[in-house]
Chains A and B, each alone.
Chain A
Amino acid sequence: MKEEVISIGNVWKKYDMGSADPLVVLKDINLKIYTGDFIAITGPSGSGKSTMVNIVGALDRPSWGGVYLKNRNISDLRESALAFFRAKTIGFIFQQFNLIPTLTALQNVMLPMEILDISEKSAKEKATELLTMLGLGERLNHKPTELSGGQQQRVAIARALANDPEIILADEPTGNLDSHTGKFVMDFLGKLNKAGKTVILITHDLDLVKYADRVVHIKDGKIEKEVKK
């Protein structure tokens, strides 16, 4: 039986809009994610899928409800504890790559490890290994502006794997890539899943859901349906 790695229970998220009525983005969301899941969260723009993933990834806090990591409520943790959780447990892959533009590919990948006070030598070795594995061994000292979109996303994947997290959270990872590079990224996420990583994919591209073993469709802030393959 699979172990529950992260779950959200009765989560609501609303944004105060001044004098206007508050904007309720998530309405009583309940979702359990298990170790080794490859879960795709889909839905149209404005459906609340990104907000939900921000809450799952501890980038945001729910207005009500709880977020549980292995049955421990993390939604009330202090910011520093949440930061540690993000560094240790989750690897983010963004649509916009979100690399630090003034750092080289190697330095970008080393950064999450250095945030956890891993020695520069060890971080450098691990970052070099990851980038080489992703075919960027010759681009270690290139800055993001000197890399193509696909190369930048591969650097971002390497960075997401730097601290060997249990969960990979990919928000529209192929959104800014051509189909060939997009396929490479999705295949790589599939490999990571097969290697035991839990992958949470946010996408509105229905072609990508074929990689997932669970598909959660969100509409108007509610889980409309969940399909297990």
Chain B
Amino acid sequence: MKLKKSTHLAWNILIHSKLRSWLTIIGIVIGIASVVSIVSISLGAQQQVQNQLGNIGANVLTVTPGFSKAFGSSGFVGGGGGFRVITRNGGPGEGSSSSSTTQKNLTINDINTIKGVSNVEYVMGEISNRETVSYLTKSATLDITGVDTSTWSEVTTETLSSGRFLSSGDSNAVVIGQNVATSTFSNIPLNSKITVDGKTFTVVGILSNGNGIYVPIDQARNMFDVGGTDYQSISVKISNVKEANATVTAITQRLMLERGEIQASQQDFSILNPSELQSTIEQTTGMLALFLGAIAAISLIVGAIGIANTMFTSVLEKTREIGIMKAIGAKNKDILMIFLINAGMIGFVGGIGGVVLGAIGSGFIGSLASGAATGGGGFGRLFGSTALTPALLIGALLFSIIIGMIAGAIPAYRASKLKPVDALRYE
């Protein structure tokens, strides 16, 4: 019998099947929907991590005052969708540095020391604070970051939407984030004048995203009333990302020596290595996805058992028809194929429903998580985006078909082995 005919007969069984078959399909729908939702949310979280860490740049290390083995001295806030290391000591509402060691600011000496480490390409100190920014009649309190204009364009991982980065010799010039230009204020065009802490600046560049405002560091020092050569963080661009860990070790050793810290317990600075952070977060989200996926898989197994049960019942119901088909010449393999395709179809129909419901469900959960994120929840931000890739949807559908066929294999085999004379006698 041709595959087309077997498929037609299998479809015929499915569309004439009773409510029980459709309830079985609902079981598969729920199982596949759970898997699709969880996998898409998990993939979305991983992408989110990668995107946000991408904003930091895997080749940019960040040195901050205060020491923590983990991230205790470094908080995360969502500035423009990116993780940002907070280096201020207890900035309002943005996390705080906390360390068990006596904290010493970073200085120009630290920058010079780091410059001497191999694999280091550029080093740039930063200071930041929140100041009142005005444009036309509107004002807002925003993060202002003072950067070294000679190296900022080399170190930063930000991209420009229009204009240029700050460069050497710039004075009263400012580069603003996309959100500042379009959301915080209705529309700030390039070369327009904004006021920061009462001083007028010209917008020379608008970044592709973010809420930040960048000014030359000397003007920032005056603005924040921070004198001398202290920095709140140091960004270190390295040449070879593969040697990031070795570079972190080398910088740590040099800085401790330079800062007179002999014992490990005296270390009073932290170095954020984005690639290591990325790996840790990916491991965490991966474990979470695995755990949730296992729970979803249980519902899928229950669905598969439902298919097997329905198929056994279907074979019983169709016993006489199997006998008729054998009497008129159908081979065992023809009967096997019909019932196997039928089981695959239950998986397919359930898979289609599951993929659709899963897509809707993951979107719903994503929007709920995004809603939580607006309230400041990091978890919500992490799971606020989902990744419904074609590979995931097709994979889920194929998986569902295979589950259906595996579950239907034994009933189909039994059907194929029925003796025609016994099957014809079945009432």
Contacts and interface: CB of A to CB of B under 8 A. Distances in A.
B70 interface: no
Contact of A92 (B5, B320, B328): B328
B411 to A, nearest CB: 18
Given A92-B328, A159-B328, A102 B13 contact: yes
A79 B416 CA distance: 11
A83 B1 contact: no
Given A102-B12, A114-B5, A88 B329 contact: yes
Given A92-B328, A98-B324, A114 B1 contact: yes
A27 interface: no
Interface residues of B, number: 25
A54 B422 CA distance: 11
Contacts of B302: none
Contacts of A84: 329, 331
Nearest to A98: B324
A200 to B, nearest CB: 14
B331 A79 contact: yes
Contacts of B419: 60
A49 B267 CA distance: 100
A155 interface: no
Contacts of A83: 326, 329-332
A198 B295 CA distance: 64
Nearest to B320: A98
A87 interface: yes
A57 B323 CA distance: 13
Given A54-B421, A102-B13, A102-B16, A112 B329 contact: yes
B2 interface: yes
B336 to A, nearest CB: 12
A114 B2 contact: yes
A27 to B, nearest CB: 19
Given A98-B320, A100-B321, A80 B421 contact: no
A163 B12 CA distance: 23
Nearest to A86: B329
Contacts of A94: 424
B333 interface: yes
A57 B331 CA distance: 15
B327 A115 contact: no
B329 A115 contact: yes
Contact of A87 (B321, B324, B329, B424): B329
A59 interface: yes
Contact of B330 (A60, A98, A115): A115
Interface in A89-146: 92, 94, 98-103, 111-112, 114-117, 120
A115 B424 contact: no
Contacts of A116: 329
A60 B328 contact: no
A7 to B, nearest CB: 20
Contacts of B5: 114-115, 120
B408 interface: no
A101 to B, nearest CB: 8
Contacts of A100: 321, 324-325
Contacts of A120: 4-5
Interface in A17-49: none
A94 B4 CA distance: 28
A118 to B, nearest CB: 10
B328 A59 contact: no
A115 B421 contact: no
14 contacts: A59-B326, A59-B420, A80-B332, A83-B326, A83-B330, A83-B331, A86-B328, A87-B328, A98-B320, A98-B324, A103-B12, A115-B5, A115-B329, A115-B330
Given A79-B332, A83-B326, 6 more contacts: A59-B326, A59-B424, A80-B331, A98-B327, A115-B329, A117-B2
Closest 8 CB pairs of A and B: A87-B329, A60-B421, A112-B328, A83-B331, A59-B421, A115-B329, A102-B16, A98-B324
